[in-house]
């Protein structure tokens, strides 16, 4: 039986999902904007607590991973299966580096007792509490997306390897790529707004 495939429709569906994600994070950025406006001094001082170096490394790693996902689409379309798998593998390694950095970053904060609801945080000034709550919520939600994206890309990598994603049929790879770029896109705004505004 011949299946009628609609790649254009599949991509449109992915984009509509991406729009809902943009509005989800958009709402959080809006909260950030209003609270920053209200407690600008305390936000400034609180941001000093974040490790801008780890933030920078993670930015570079995410940009690199976005480029390799895009390159993997080129490889698969050219019929270069081995390269396609390799590029996704590099992307997954980048995701791993990001997660390890996040582990050390959050681990340090947890070890000094800085986490939502902790005694230390409850005792802080209002602006600090808001900043760190937003920091944990936004980067936490972002990292959940990154983990979800890694799982999707792992499935895609296997499917390129077994050949069910190939030069003629690669819309799943494209949509997985779109999701990964979304993760990158969100970080592009999170990084300067949380780590660099000091």
Partner 1 sequence: MTHTESHITDYRVYGWVLLALLVLTTITITVTWIDLSALTVLVALIIASVKSFIVLRYFMHLKFESRLFTVFFVMVLGIYLLVIVLTFFDYLLR
Task: Decide if residue 108 touches partner 1 (CB under 8 A).
Answer: no
Binder of partner 1 out of 30, 120, 151, 155 (CB under 8 A): 30
Task: Decide if residue 153 touches partner 1 (CB under 8 A).
Answer: no
Judged by CB, which is closer to partner 1: 37, or 111? 37
Using CB under 8 A, which residues numbered 41 to 100 contact partner 1?
A: 52, 56, 59-60, 63-64, 66-67, 69-71, 73-74, 77-78
The Cβ of residue 37 has, within 10 Å, a number of other Cβ atoms equal to 9
Least distance to partner 1, CB of residue 53, Å: 10
Exposure string over 128-145, b if 16+ CB within 10 A, otherwise e: bbbbbbbbbebbebbbeb
The stretch among 113-121, 132-140, 143-151, 170-178 that binds partner 1 (CB under 8 A) is 170-178
Q: How far apart are the first and last CA of the chain?
A: 61
Q: Cβ neighbours of residue 11 under 8 Å, at least 6 residues apart?
A: 171, 174, 175, 178
Judged by CB, which is closer to partner 1: 101, or 118? 101
Least distance to partner 1, CB of residue 110, Å: 26
What tokens were used for 16? 């509509």
Judged by CB, which is closer to partner 1: 33, or 112? 33
The Cβ of residue 27 has, within 10 Å, a number of other Cβ atoms equal to 10
Least distance to partner 1, CB of residue 146, Å: 16
CB 5 within 8 A of CB 118: no
């Amino acid at each position: 039986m011949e299946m009628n495939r609609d790649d254009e429709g599949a991509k449109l569906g992915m984009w509509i999902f991406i729009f809902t994600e943009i509005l989800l994070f958009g709402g959080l950025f809006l909260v950030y904007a209003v609270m920053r406006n209200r407690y600008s001094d305390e936000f400034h001082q609180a941001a000093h607590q974040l490790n801008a170096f780890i933030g920078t490394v993670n930015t570079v790693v995410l940009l690199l991973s976005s480029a390799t996902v895009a390159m993997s689409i080129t490889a698969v379309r050219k019929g270069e299966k081995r390269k396609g798998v390799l590029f996704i593998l590099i992307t997954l390694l980048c995701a791993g580096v990001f997660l390890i950095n996040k582990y050390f970053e959050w681990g340090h904060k947890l070890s000094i007792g800085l986490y939502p609801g902790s005694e230390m945080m409850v005792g802080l000034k209002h602006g600090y509490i808001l900043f760190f709550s937003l920091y944990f919520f936004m980067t936490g939600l972002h990292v959940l997306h990154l983990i979800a994206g890694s799982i999707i890309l792992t499935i895609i990598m296997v499917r390129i390897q077994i050949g069910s994603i190939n030069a003629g049929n690669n819309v799943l790879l494209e949509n997985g790529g779109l999701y990964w770029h979304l993760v990158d896109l969100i970080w592009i705004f999170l990084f300067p707004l949380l780590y660099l505004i000091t």
